[in-house]
């Protein structure tokens, strides 16, 4: 028997190995193996097994890792597709479908020693007093972990060994599962009665499930479709997911729920666990995300692989979970950029979900209050089925949104010349504090102020490694680069030798500065800031949200961390300090992003009995992204944005590939980029409808002391382009110190 193996050392080739007799029944497609490679031993994954090989003198597989093959053939097919589409090696793709904790050899189940009572009725052998005390505890518990026993009795392992010698107890290792949510007390919940719109959406999804393989429908085996669930914030999308999941379970299939990392809060996880911890369709809900320890991840993953957990909730990489058979994939907040992985393989979990769903006959539900232009466009042209939830549950009204022009905010709103709060926002805040209602203030920029600027000579403190200004962090009195982490003391005067102006000033405003200004404005209010600087530990996030929920905090200031998915009935005012921040970045999705952000943040207001209000401050109040968000008009925004995209052949009317070259020598990078352009012209010259742009300096021109040039290719035939780019990459002979990255369907044009 011969096995074909891809090696983890990314060689973009597969190698044949002999399967030794004694391993024959353990080697299948998907097995992880250790093989000799030159003088070394390396890990790999079996991609095929057969009886002959074109090569002679094959070396044998040394070892099979794990009892069960780790990659199912279906997930392997997914990895192959990813490698083709996203221009990366199969090995890189396989690496990302298996969590690190699963791939490593040494991580396994945690075992602990358990003491079990054995003695039956009858006289006890003679024991010392100490031994007798310990025995009584064991007898009462019947079975107890050694560690726990030692803690309870204050004895030593030696004493327990004595009891074992006497035949009274056995000591044996037992697998104990790590449960990251062990401390939660989860109360079961039941399905809510849906409103007519929710019911219609659910029925349609259920029909889709019934049509799929394993479904109750007659046309079993036909491919299920994709649904786009467009529902305003608070319209009850999650309840629709929960009931659709129940239906998948009833028909014997499992499901994957993807949520953005940032909204994977204990609150969200609990909602899913609570629904499936009891009742006829009870199952374990496994959770996969990056904050779990390696061991926890190992256990969660294997619960899925063994079929004990049939629902998985997780961030991006949970899309590869080995759920079998798979009935449903839910992608919540499908427009979120965090679904895109910013390193190879540069996949978008939403798009992988759609592909996987189609391959495995599973229903895919993409949900969002602000769908991406790509998905909404797919729904418009009939590729996806559109389901709409246009109203909030219980007919709560969407909040009133007021847009304030900061250029006219008047001097009342200025702090040292920088406007932070307009009079309108100030008054609105004062009113809520008086009424003991809660407030959220949102600003997408952490730190105290954006930059240190000299008003006399124009000097701006910049990072020596990156082409960005340093951000002042007041609590530490340091300047910090938000790209590379470079840190330096804040100077007391302008460092320009000819200037030395002592009146150097801080321009721009970050969350810290907003917090300071608020404390001065409302000294009696309880104010809490929440951004990546205040969240040092895992529990901080939870504690702050808990305090906010129970009313211990009046006013929460934060970055996008507070924008999503959170639900606080007593919040009646949301203030957006600068709506323009995300608007003026060199990215064709800047408008879309701003619209999404404003809508999401606004959705935090008025989720209780009192109507909510949103105050949006902006220097460009008439920008369409702001105006359409103000009117809660997604379709209006979509239509005007689509026109703009069509004109320039941007997605969703085409697809983009971004090529970035980087290196420490600027001239070399530029020269190589020009060479790539020539090659692209030569290879893709005759393609209809192709747009080639660049090379140009990347928007983030210098980062971590690397210079970056980029080129953009836009086409409607991405599969074909991916293949051409892979060939180009293989043929290019780039100098050692230059790197080319290819990003298919990039989300971040700043170049990662
Ligand atoms: P979305 O995911 O669209 O933002 P949620 O699913 O979080 O909305 O629903 C918002 C709130 O409404 C939740 O507290 C949820 O329990 C409640 N809810 C959802 N559907 C119903 C329903 N049919 N009847 C009563 N309450 C509901
Ligand atoms: Zn830097």
Please state the separation of Cα 671 from the chain's center in Å: 36
Q: Is residue 693's pLDDT more than 90?
A: no
Q: Is residue 219's pLDDT more than 60?
A: no
8 Å CB contact between 8 and 42: yes
Q: Is 264 helix (H, G, I), strand (E, B) or coil?
A: coil
CA of 606 to the centre of ligand 1 (A): 14
- In this structure, what token pair is assigned to residue 428? 């609105």
Residue 279's H or E segment, with its range, is none
Q: Kindly list the distances between the CA atom of residue 253 and the CA atoms of 282, 354, 360, in Å, as whole numbers in the listed order.
A: 13, 17, 12
Find the distance separating the first CA and the last CA of the chain, reported in whole Å: 44
Q: Does any ligand 1 atom lie closer than 6 A to the CB of residue 195?
A: yes
Question: Average pLDDT, stretch 149-157?
Answer: 82
Among all bound ligands, the one having the nearest atom to the CA of 488 is 2
Question: Average pLDDT, stretch 39-52?
Answer: 87
Out of 196-210, 554-568, 705-719, 733-747, pick the least confident.
Answer: 554-568
**Which pLDDT value is given to residue 222?**
43
- Residue 145 binned pLDDT confidence (cut-offs 50, 70, 90): confident
Instruction: Work out which ligand 1 atom sits closest to the CA atom of 235.
Output: 3
CA of 318 to the centre of ligand 2 (A): 32
Q: Does any ligand 1 atom lie closer than 6 A to the CB of residue 235?
A: yes
Residue closest to 410 by CA, chosen among 396, 389, 429, 424: 424
Q: Does any ligand 1 atom lie closer than 6 A to the CB of residue 526?
A: no
pLDDT tens digits, one per residue of 162-185: 888 888 888 877 766 666 666 666
Q: Is residue 221's pLDDT more than 60?
A: no
Mean pLDDT of the chain: 84
pLDDT tens digits, one per residue of 77-113: 899 899 999 998 888 888 888 877 676 655 555 667 7
8 Å CB contact between 572 and 437: yes
- In this structure, what token pair is assigned to residue 160? 């327990």
- Residue 302 binned pLDDT confidence (cut-offs 50, 70, 90): confident
- SS3 breakdown of the chain: % helix, strand, coil, rounded to 5? 35, 25, 40
**CATH ID of 196-379, from 3.40.50.10470, 3.40.50.300, 3.30.1330.10, 1.10.287.610:** 3.40.50.300
Half-sphere exposure of 378 (CA within 13 A, CB side): 20
Contacts with 744 (C-beta within 8 Å, 6 or more apart), sequence order: 85, 86, 87, 346, 655, 656, 657, 718, 722
**Which pLDDT value is given to residue 412?**
47
pLDDT tens digits, one per residue of 623-673: 899 999 998 899 999 999 999 888 888 899 999 999 999 999 989 999 999
pTM above 0.85, yes or no: no
CA of 749 to the centre of ligand 2 (A): 18
Q: Is residue 331's pLDDT more than 90?
A: yes
Q: Is residue 413's pLDDT more than 50?
A: no
8 Å CB contact between 179 and 297: no
8 Å CB contact between 720 and 81: no
Instruction: Work out which ligand 1 atom sits closest to the CA atom of 232.
Output: 3
Residue closest to 267 by CA, chosen among 568, 611, 532, 558: 568
Among all bound ligands, the one having the nearest atom to the CA of 461 is 2
Q: Does any ligand 1 atom lie closer than 6 A to the CB of residue 238?
A: yes
Question: Which CATH superfamily is 396-449+508-643 part of?
Answer: P-loop containing nucleotide triphosphate hydrolases (3.40.50.300)
- In this structure, what token pair is assigned to residue 437? 């209602």
DSSP 63-120: EEESSS-SS-HHHHHHHHHHHHHTT--HHHHHHHHS-HHHHSSS---EEEEEEEE---
Q: Does any ligand 1 atom lie closer than 6 A to the CB of residue 192?
A: yes
pLDDT tens digits, one per residue of 356-387: 999 999 999 999 999 999 999 999 999 999 99
Q: Please tell me the class of the 655-744 domain.
A: alpha beta
Indicate the DSSP class of residue 410.
-
In the CATH scheme, what is the code of domain 111-175? 1.10.10.10
Q: Is residue 220's pLDDT more than 50?
A: no
- Structure-token match 């109040």, residue found: 621
Q: Please tell me the class of the 2-102 domain.
A: alpha beta
62-76, 145-159, 194-208, 456-470 — most confident range: 194-208
Q: Is 5 helix (H, G, I), strand (E, B) or coil?
A: strand
Between 349 and 94, the more confident residue is 349
Domain coordinates of the chain in residue numbers? 2-102, 111-175, 196-379, 396-449+508-643, 655-744
Please state the separation of Cα 74 from the chain's center in Å: 23
Burial class from Cβ neighbours inside 10 Å (0-12, 13-18, 19+) for residue 520 reads: exposed
Residue 461's H or E segment, with its range, is none
- In sequence order, what E strands does 218-368 have? 226-231, 254-258, 284-288, 309-314, 326-332, 363-368
- Residue 218 binned pLDDT confidence (cut-offs 50, 70, 90): very low
Indicate the DSSP class of residue 191.
P
**Which pLDDT value is given to residue 694?**
82
Instruction: Work out which ligand 1 atom sits closest to the CA atom of 603.
Output: 4
Contacts with 28 (C-beta within 8 Å, 6 or more apart), sequence order: 46, 49, 69
Pocket test for ligand 1, best of 263, 393, 601, 604 (most atoms within 8 A of CB): 393
What is the rounded (10 degree) CA torsion for 687, 690, 694, 700? -130
pLDDT tens digits, one per residue of 475-502: 777 888 776 678 888 888 888 888 888 8
Give the whole-angstrom CA distance, residue 581 versus residue 590: 10
**Which pLDDT value is given to residue 76?**
87
The arrangement of strands across the sheet holding 478-480 comes to: 471-473, 478-480, 487-489
Q: Is residue 388's pLDDT more than 90?
A: yes
**Which pLDDT value is given to residue 752?**
45
Out of 121-135, 410-424, 451-465, 620-634, pick the least confident.
Answer: 410-424
92-96, 300-304, 352-356, 447-451 — most confident range: 352-356
- In this structure, what token pair is assigned to residue 580? 């323009």
- In this structure, what token pair is assigned to residue 353? 């979900």
Among all bound ligands, the one having the nearest atom to the CA of 391 is 1
8 Å CB contact between 467 and 702: yes
Instruction: Work out which ligand 1 atom sits closest to the CA atom of 198.
Output: 23
Residue 346's H or E segment, with its range, is none
Identical topology for domains 2-102 and 396-449+508-643: no
Handedness of CA 144, 148, 149, 150 (dihedral sign): positive
- Residue 750 binned pLDDT confidence (cut-offs 50, 70, 90): low
Contacts with 56 (C-beta within 8 Å, 6 or more apart), sequence order: none
**Which pLDDT value is given to residue 607?**
66
């Amino acid at each position: 028997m011969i096995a074909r193996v891809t090696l983890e050392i990314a060689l973009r080739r597969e190698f044949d190995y002999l399967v030794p007799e004694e391993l024959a029944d353990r080697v299948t497609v998907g097995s992880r193996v250790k093989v000799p490679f030159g003088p070394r031993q390396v890990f790999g994954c079996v991609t095929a097994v057969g009886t002959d090989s074109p090569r002679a003198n094959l070396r044998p597989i040394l070892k099979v890792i794990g009892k069960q093959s780790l990659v199912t053939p279906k997930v392997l097919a997914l990895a192959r597709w990813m490698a083709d589409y996203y221009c990366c090696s199969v090995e890189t793709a396989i690496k990302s479908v298996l969590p690190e904790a699963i791939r490593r050899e040494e991580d396994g189940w945690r075992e602990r020693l358990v003491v079990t009572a054995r003695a039956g009725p009858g006289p006890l052998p003679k024991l010392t007093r100490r031994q007798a005390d310990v025995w009584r505890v064991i007898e009462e518990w019947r079975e107890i972990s050694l560690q726990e026993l030692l803690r309870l009795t204050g004895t030593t392992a030696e004493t327990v060994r004595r009891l074992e010698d006497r035949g009274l107890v056995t000591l044996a290792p037992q697998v104990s599962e790590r449960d990251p949510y062990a401390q939660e007390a989860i109360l079961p919940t039941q399905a809510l009665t849906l409103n007519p719109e929710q019911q219609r959406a659910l029925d349609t999804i259920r029909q889709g499930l019934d049509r799929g393989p394993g479904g109750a429908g007659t046309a079993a085996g036909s491919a299920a479709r994709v649904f786009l669930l467009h529902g305003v914030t608070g319209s009850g999308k999650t309840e629709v997911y929960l009931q659709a999941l129940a239906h998948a379970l009833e028909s014997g299939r499992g499901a994957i729920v993807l949520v953005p990392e940032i909204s994977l809060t204990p609150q969200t996880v609990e909602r899913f666990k609570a629904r499936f911890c009891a009742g006829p369709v009870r199952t374990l809900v496994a959770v996969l995300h990056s904050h779990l320890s390696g061991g926890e991840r190992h256990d969660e993953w294997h619960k899925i692989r063994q079929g004990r957990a049939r629902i998985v909730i997780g961030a991006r990489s949970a899309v590869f979970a080995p759920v079998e058979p798979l009935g449903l994939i839910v992608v919540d907040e499908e427009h979120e950029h965090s679904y895109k992985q910013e390193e190879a393989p540069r996949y978008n979990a939403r798009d992988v979900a759609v592909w996987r769903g189609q391959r495995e006959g599973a229903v895919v539900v993409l949900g969002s209050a602000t769908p991406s232009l790509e998905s909404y466009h797919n729904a418009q042209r009939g590729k996806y089925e559109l389901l709409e939830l246009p109203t909030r549950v219980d007919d709560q009204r969407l909040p009133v949104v007021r847009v304030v022009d900061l250029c006219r905010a008047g001097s009342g709103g200025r702090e040292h010349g920088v406007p932070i709060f307009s009079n309108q926002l100030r008054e609105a805040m004062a009113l809520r504090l008086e009424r003991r209602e809660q407030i959220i203030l949102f600003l997408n920029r952490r730190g105290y102020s954006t930059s240190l600027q000299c008003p006399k000579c124009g000097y701006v403190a910049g990072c020596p490694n990156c082409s960005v200004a340093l951000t002042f962090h007041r609590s530490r009195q340091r300047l910090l680069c938000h790209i590379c982490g470079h840190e330096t003391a804040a100077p007391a005067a302008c460092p320009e030798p000819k200037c030395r102006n002592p009146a150097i000033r801080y321009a721009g405003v970050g969350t810290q500065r907003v917090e300071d200004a608020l404390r001065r404005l409302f000294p009696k209010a309880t104010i809490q800031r929440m951004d990546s600087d205040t969240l040092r530990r895992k529990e901080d996030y939870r504690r702050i949200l808990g305090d906010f929920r129970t009313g211990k905090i009046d006013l929460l200031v934060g970055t996008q961390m507070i924008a999503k998915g959170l639900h606080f009935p007593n919040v009646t005012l949301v203030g957006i300090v600068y709506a323009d921040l995300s608007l003026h970045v060199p990215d064709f999705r800047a408008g879309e992003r701003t619209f999404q952000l404003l809508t999401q943040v606004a959705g935090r207001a008025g989720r209780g009995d009192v109507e909510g209000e949103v105050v949006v401050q902006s220097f460009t109040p008439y920008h369409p992204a702001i105006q359409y968000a103000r009117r809660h008009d997604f379709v209006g925004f979509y239509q005007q944005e689509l026109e703009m995209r069509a004109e320039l052949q941007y997605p969703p009317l085409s697809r983009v590939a971004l090529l970035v070259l980087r290196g420490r020598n600027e001239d070399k990078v530029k020269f190589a980029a020009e060479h790539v352009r020539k090659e692209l012209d030569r290879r893709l010259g005759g393609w209809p409808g192709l747009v080639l742009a660049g090379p140009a300096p990347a928007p983030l021109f210098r980062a971590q002391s690397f210079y970056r040039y980029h080129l953009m290719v836009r086409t409607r035939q991405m599969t074909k382009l991916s293949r051409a780019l892979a060939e180009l990459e293989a043929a290019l002979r780039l100098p050692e110190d230059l790197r080319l990255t290819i990003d298919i369907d990039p989300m971040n044009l700043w170049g990662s």
